Amino acid sequence: MNSTDWKNKGKFVSVFNRNIFVIDEGSSEETLVILHGYPTSSFDYHKVLTELSKKYRVIIHDHLGFGFSDKPLDYSYSLIEQADVALQLWQQLGLKKVTLLAHDYGTSVATEIIARHYKKQINLQIDELILCNGSIHIEHSKLRLIQKLLKNKTTGKFVASLTNFPIFKKNMRNIYFDKTRVSDQELKEMWFQLENNEGRKVIHQLTNYINERYYFWHRWVGALKETNIPTKIIWAKNDPIAVPKIAKLLSDEIKNNQLIWIENCGHFLMLEKPEKWLQLILEKD
């Protein structure tokens, strides 16, 4: 699937006067909301959407600053505000109860939502939480050099301006276990969406999420320790960034969880092993 086809599947919803790109597919009474990763978009789920939407009404939006959503220069890009946007969007779509699935960057947005849920600050029933390969325990994450440079206040803007498709392609391929599982064309579609709306101008601001993971560590990890929401931890075992140790720690900390590994798989498990990932998402305990 190309970016144009994907864009045609979705719509734009105005949230806090910003245009948010949303995929809303399926007619089930069960709703699955998905929070995607960095630096990609909802397009990460193009291989699995059809099957997911047979069981769920599936709602995936591009976070502000990502994909086809607005990419304003005058914005904080705080994960706290990304949670505000997600919750407001879901409220506007009339959602009352959901299964919440998050990957990578999206896991931090999800943990902020779980923190608010635990403190009864939001009116949303979360029936199940599904966490996939995210550096929630940032102290154990193996950040790529480009991530370190982008999040740095001194080098970030300069590095962002120099970033191009060959650099992006190399960095993305390196986090796949089986490099043949991603084509140049697929990577071009991801890059096109990253560049959309002059996205390179904000990528260094987006990368500040890594600093927030340290700053809000106690709030977010603390929320996972307190929540009683049934949780599936579905983890690619060969992720060079969100390493297995993070999944094991989460499994030790979350009260009501099931840890399931996907072997011989890198960071983007829904793209590299879509059939296995789908099986684990859709099967009942």
Using alpha carbons, select from 54, 57, 126 the residue that is nearest to residue 96.
126
Q: What is the pLDDT of residue 164?
A: 86
142 confidence band (pLDDT: 50, 70, 90): confident
* Among the ranges given (121-125, 128-132, 137-141, 158-162), the one the predictor scored with the smallest mean pLDDT: 158-162
Residue 162 has pLDDT above 80, yes or no: no
267 confidence band (pLDDT: 50, 70, 90): very high
Q: How far apart are CA 12 and CA 201, in angstroms?
A: 22
Residue 258 has pLDDT above 60, yes or no: yes
- For strand 57-61 and strand 31-35, is the pairing parallel, antiparallel, or unpaired? parallel
Model-level pTM? 0.94
Residue the block writes with tokens 């998905």: 34
149 confidence band (pLDDT: 50, 70, 90): low
Per-residue pLDDT tens over the stretch 96-106: 999 999 999 99
Query: Stretch 79-99: mean pLDDT, rounded?
Result: 98
Instruction: Read off the amino acid at residue 8.
Output: N
Residue 148 has pLDDT above 90, yes or no: no
Residue 3 has pLDDT above 80, yes or no: yes
Q: Is 245 helix (H, G, I), strand (E, B) or coil?
A: helix
Please, what are the domains in the chain?
Answer: 3-282 (3.40.50.1820)
Edge-to-edge strands, sheet with 257-262: 11-15, 18-25, 57-61, 31-35, 97-103, 125-132, 231-236, 257-262
Per-residue pLDDT tens over the stretch 190-212: 999 999 999 989 988 888 888 99
Residue 27 has pLDDT above 60, yes or no: yes
66 confidence band (pLDDT: 50, 70, 90): very high
With residue 276 as reference, give the H or E element that holds it.
helix 274-282
47 confidence band (pLDDT: 50, 70, 90): very high
Residue 19 has pLDDT above 80, yes or no: yes
Residue 151 has pLDDT above 90, yes or no: no
Q: What is the pLDDT of residue 150?
A: 65
Q: What is the pLDDT of residue 173?
A: 94
Residue 144 has pLDDT above 80, yes or no: no
Query: Stretch 84-106: mean pLDDT, rounded?
Result: 98
Instruction: Read off the amino acid at residue 116.
Output: R
Residue 72 has pLDDT above 70, yes or no: yes
Per-residue pLDDT tens over the stretch 204-252: 888 888 899 999 999 999 999 999 999 999 999 999 999 999 999 999 9
